[in-house]
Amino acid sequence: MKQLGSQTWKFTNRPVILGSSAVVGPEEGEGPLASSFDFIYDSLEMGEKTWEKAERALFEKASKLALMNANLEQEKLEFFVGGDLMNQIISSSFAARKLGVPYLGVFGACSTSMESLAIASMIVDSGGGKYALAGTSSHNCTVEKQFRYPTEYGSQKPPTAQYTVTGSGCAVVGVNDGTVKGPYVVSATLGRIMDLGLKDPFNMGTAMAPAAVDTITAHFRDTGLSPGHYDLIVTGDLASVGLPIAKELLAKEGIPMEQTVFNDCGLMIYDLDKQKYVIAGGSGCGCSAVVTYGHILSRLKKGELKRVLIVATGALLSPLSYQQGESIPCVAHAVALESGGEEA
């Protein structure tokens, strides 16, 4: 592994994503990306008695399918890197019980998908292990219950609010021995905390946009690349409010985003015209995870995309910090993926 600049790791051995999975709930199954998901639950309960147990089942299902899609026996898995939005990241920790391998629990709020992938890739690229699983999850009802109001309360939300994705995405990262032709993990740019003093938990897109911009700017500064190097650049869950802000801030930074397709996972996963209840779009740890490990990896494998930069964003608030009137610190982590072929 090689450090580029102050925030970027270049994975010189180019770890390969051997297999991945995207498991979602019913609302996500009604969206435009339904065909790219491995499994769609027909109810939010998922056969469990509580929302928290449902999210755990979601995570366990995704990890099992990822191993199956990677053609890797569970006994050969060496590390699991995962996290979620629940207090003490209980969804990933409880799911880790069934895997029975060394576990690194991480928390980056909705940026956890790329944080866990970056760490898993570092383990493999540095020779720390041959196989590592990266994953995360979120459930609409567990998040509403913990961070806002239980769904049963029926609270009204402003037009800036986002809809937490019910989904879990996992990927098995393995040593690049030449037998699997991508997708490869090329680099990771780790973000800094950005806090503009915003305190509204119903306006995450605005709060997270500066963090996304800071990490994107750092990525191009560290690597010497330009946006045109990528076929697609996606943010995690800025949705309809945050993405235009990010575009404006990037223009001020002189980053020519018009060279590529610039989109957001929170806008891709739902049909905002038909699914009015999502309001500004999707959010949650599962948002960028299922879009990346389902839709985007599928396009990379088919050769429809050659190079992609995923910039997962996270708002690092807690119920306690919000109740105490604290502002919302945010972070974004970016991972560059390649379909194969040319070196980055």
Q: pLDDT, tens digit, for every residue of 69-82?
A: 999 999 999 999 99
The domain containing residue 133 runs over which residues? 2-174
Query: 166 and 273: one domain?
Result: no
On the CB side of 111, CA atoms within 13 Å amount to 31
Q: Is residue 151 part of a domain?
A: yes
Query: 58 and 168: one domain?
Result: yes
Under the banding of pLDDT at 50, 70 and 90, the label for residue 148 is: low
Q: Is residue 179 part of a domain?
A: no
* Of the candidates 340, 330, 342, 335, the residue with the CA atom closest to the CA atom of residue 8: 335
pLDDT tens digits, 229-238:
999 999 999 9
Query: 26 and 94: one domain?
Result: yes
* Structure-model confidence comparison of residues 321 and 173, the more confident one: 173
Supply φ then ψ for residue 330, to 5 degrees. Answer: -130, 160
Query: 106 and 38: one domain?
Result: yes
* Of the candidates 62, 23, 17, 33, the residue with the CA atom closest to the CA atom of residue 295: 33
Q: For the domain that residue 269 is a member of, what is the CATH number?
A: 3.40.47.40
Domain boundary among 114, 147, 174: 174
Are 87 and 284 spatial neighbours (Cβ–Cβ below 8 Å)? no
**What's the confidence (pLDDT) of residue 132?**
98
Query: 52 and 133: one domain?
Result: yes
Q: What pTM does this model have?
A: 0.96
**What's the confidence (pLDDT) of residue 342?**
46
- Count other Cβ atoms within 10 Å, centred on residue 87: 12
Contacts of 215 (CB under 8 A, 6+ apart): 7, 189, 190, 191, 192, 311, 332, 333, 334
250-264 average pLDDT score? 97
**What's the confidence (pLDDT) of residue 189?**
98
Query: 157 and 10: one domain?
Result: yes
pLDDT tens digits, 48-95:
999 999 999 999 999 999 999 999 999 999 999 999 999 999 999 999
Q: Is residue 271 part of a domain?
A: yes
Average pLDDT, the chain: 94
Query: 222 and 328: one domain?
Result: yes
